[in-house]
Amino acid sequence: MSDSAAPDAAPELIDRLRLIEEQPLETRAQAYAAVHDELARRLESAPTDASSSP
């Protein structure tokens, strides 16, 4: 299952998540929080599509 609109960063994210899963629980929680923060910053800084506004 592949989304043609998926960014090229997807393979890097998958590799990063696999590395996180191999870590001890305490480290995983911190690493997932860092990934969450990074993705949230990317979403907030992404250009908005004014035509899709209600």
Closest CA to 29 of 13, 42, 2, 37: 37
Its sign, for the CA torsion 4, 40, 42, 52, is positive
Q: Which pTM value belongs to this model?
A: 0.64
Backbone angles phi, psi at 48, to 5 degrees: -100, 150
pLDDT single digits (tens) 4-53: 455 577 889 999 999 999 999 989 999 999 999 999 999 999 888 766 55
Q: What is the pLDDT of residue 48?
A: 84
